[in-house]
Structure 1
Amino acid sequence: MSVEVLRVSGEALMDALDEVARLRIEVFREYPYLYDGTKEAEREYLEGYAESSGAVLVLARVDGVVIGASTGMPMGEADEAFQQPFLQNTERLENWFYLGESVLSGRFRGQGIGHRFFDEREAHARELAFPSVAFCSVVRPQDHPLKPHGYRSHERFWTKRGYEKRPEWRASLNWKQIDSGGMDVRNELEFWTRNF
């Protein structure tokens, strides 16, 4: 089974939105995000990438079916919640490319696709002459009741790729969780950064 990984933008990005929305809902229900998403909310969020001239969507496909997706855009076009930690630390937004989220269907994990997602987004950021990239991850307590037995954090993977955890740089976002009874929950996310 051959996995095709490619960067898309513009019309090709728009054509993939429904498949990417479906996959994001599926994967983000898992720990640590626990996101109880809707197709409508996901399409609205993803359309921001379609409208951004500097955005990138990296797709992983098997036999034409999307089994993974990863996003990125200039920080200056990202949600204000992601911009705030940079502005508060007197960072110039035009120096930063925001690596959005990566989602991958469970049966395809551990095959190097996550590395390809980073490779492609970092290459895109370099092509646009950004000197630095950043992403954030949700913060959960070690004893969270929904943490699966044997869960492994991605921190080692990110560190090996040259990213530095910046726990003092945080964003706050609200989303409905699978354990919140339909109510929005405020979540803290911490940033990881890398300079080229």
Structure 2
Amino acid sequence: MAELSVEVLTGPDLAPAIPELSRLRVTVFREFPYLYVGDAAYEARYLRSYLEAPDSLVVLVKDGEKVVGASSALPLKDEQAELQAPWQDNGPDVSTVWYLAESVLLPGYRGRGLGVRFFEERERRGRELGYDTASFCAVQRPDNHPRRPTGHGPLDEFWKKCGYTRHPELIARLSWREPDEEAESPKDMVFWTKRL
């Protein structure tokens, strides 16, 4: 990892990285399991919410000047309503939850410990801000999904090793378009949590 650098950015400091980060998100989320057909302009608009949330955090991984990975977090209360909804009846108050939004990393950089670093940096920020719970959600795909690559397994075991517990009662439904779809369709996103 000597050639890679890790930068931790908060709030408005993210602004210069938004164009490259937007392209990275489109590239990585196109892969299984998300199969997201997106565009960099939409992603740039979405990422602007991080500029407006003063407690937000983005961890960037660079190879030279190129952004090859990123991980983000912000208070759940600052996220979209669809992500807050499952907590209204089944979880603690959203104001106590530090939301680990997304992690994206180009394939050639995986397996180098960056996933662990992403969790460490985001959890550290959540503790500094006084949050009780860290949480993220992951899309659910059946084992026999036609686009599942050979040998692809879920990251459940990795997340458990990082101290997270899956909560099947906490399900958000987010919509996006997949490669074979003409319009967006809802996908189930199951939450995982860890006490900070």
TM-score (norm 2): 0.97
Q: Give the corresponding residue for 1:19.
A: 20
Q: Give the corresponding residue for 1:62.
A: 63
Q: Which amino acid aligns with 2:65?
A: G
Q: Give the corresponding residue for 1:150.
A: 151
Q: Structure 2 CA distance, aligned partners of 1:141 and 1:131?
A: 32
Q: Give the corresponding residue for 2:94.
A: 93
Q: For residues 154-169 of structure 1, what are the structure 2 equivalents within 5 Å?
A: 154-169=155-170
Q: Structure 2 CA distance, aligned partners of 1:89 and 1:118?
A: 24
CA deviation after TM superposition for structure 1 residue 12, in Å: 2.6
Q: Give the corresponding residue for 2:40.
A: 39
Q: For residues 178-193 of structure 1, what are the structure 2 equivalents within 5 Å?
A: 178-181=179-182, 183-193=183-193
Q: Which amino acid aligns with 1:113?
A: L
CA deviation after TM superposition for structure 1 residue 111, in Å: 0.3
CA deviation after TM superposition for structure 1 residue 117, in Å: 0.6
1:30-82 CA-to-partner distances (Å, cap 9, x unmatched) read 00000000111101111111110110011001102100001100011111111
Identity of aligned residues (%): 38
Q: For residues 96-111 of structure 1, what are the structure 2 equivalents within 5 Å?
A: 96-111=97-112
Q: Give the corresponding residue for 2:76.
A: 75
Q: Structure 1 CA distance, aligned partners of 2:103 and 2:163?
A: 17
CA deviation after TM superposition for structure 1 residue 10, in Å: 3.3
Q: Give the corresponding residue for 1:138.
A: 139
CA RMSD of aligned residues (A): 1.0
CA deviation after TM superposition for structure 1 residue 28, in Å: 0.4
Contact 1:86 1:169 in 2 (8 A): yes
Contact 1:5 1:116 in 2 (8 A): no
Number of matched residues?
195
Q: Secondary structure at the match of 1:141?
A: coil
Q: Structure 2 CA distance, aligned partners of 1:53 and 1:33?
A: 28
Contact 2:11 2:50 in 1 (8 A): no
Q: Which amino acid aligns with 1:12?
A: D
Q: Structure 1 CA distance, aligned partners of 2:90 and 2:152?
A: 33
Q: Structure 2 CA distance, aligned partners of 1:94 and 1:52?
A: 14
Q: Secondary structure at the match of 2:190?
A: strand
Q: Secondary structure at the match of 1:107?
A: helix
Unaligned runs of 5+ in 1: none
Q: Structure 1 CA distance, aligned partners of 2:174 and 2:156?
A: 21
TM-score (norm 1): 0.97
Q: Secondary structure at the match of 2:142?
A: coil
Q: Structure 2 CA distance, aligned partners of 1:87 and 1:4?
A: 39
Q: Give the corresponding residue for 1:84.
A: 85
